[in-house]
Amino acid sequence: MTTPVCTGASRAAAASAGHRRYPSFSSYVRARGPVLLRTARSLTANPSDAEDLLQTALTKTYVAWERIEDHRALDGYVRRALVNTRTSQWRKRKVDEFACEELPEKEAAPAPDPAEQQSLHDAMWRAVLKLPDRQRAMVVLRYYEDLSETQTAEVMGVSVGTVKSAVSRALGKLREDPELGPVR
């Protein structure tokens, strides 16, 4: 994201002649440039944008060079210029959102084929019917009737542990059923 640095040609000319007007600015840029570039890179994702950002901040620093009283605090001044410039660029960025009368809806996932669903349903019931009566009753109560383990135990007249172990064995048998292979 590049943003014009100066609006006037006189400013740009003054900035390019910085090594003649302010030799201390030139030596500062040579000495601290790599460190400041790392700071700029941490503010942008693109290395080219970081270079442009640093150039803009250094131009702002150059313009204010005579007003900066404490040259020992130049790094802080330039870093603040980097952050402020980046914030201004971010605020001015183009947003590609447009108001419209209807909200665009996400494309729905394709609906499953009803024939495949019925086939799977039938295969599941055939596998459940292969289970021993007691396991089948517990699986139906737990997963088709959506009863808790405690409720299933009460209906069956057994302990909760019996329900847990019987349902676990039943699910193991269902996992091994060859008709349910495509489900796994």
**Tens of pLDDT, residue by residue, the chain (184 residues):** 444 444 444 444 444 444 567 788 888 999 999 999 998 998 888 899 999 999 999 999 999 888 888 878 888 889 999 999 998 888 877 766 677 777 777 777 777 888 888 888 888 888 889 999 999 999 989 988 889 999 999 989 999 999 999 999 999 998 888 888 765 5
d(CA 168, CA 172): 6
Q: pLDDT value at position 3?
A: 47
Give the global pTM: 0.42
**What per-residue confidence (pLDDT) applies to 20?**
63
Which of 57, 103, 53 minimizes the C-alpha distance to 76?
57
| pLDDT recorded at residue 183 | 59
Query: How much is the pLDDT for 177?
Result: 87
Q: Which of 132, 168, 128 is nearest to 149 (CA)?
A: 168
Integer Cα distance of 9 and 167 in angstroms: 82
CA distance 7 to 179: 75
| Per-residue model confidence (pLDDT) at position 12 | 45
Return phi, psi of residue 66, to 5°.
-70, -30
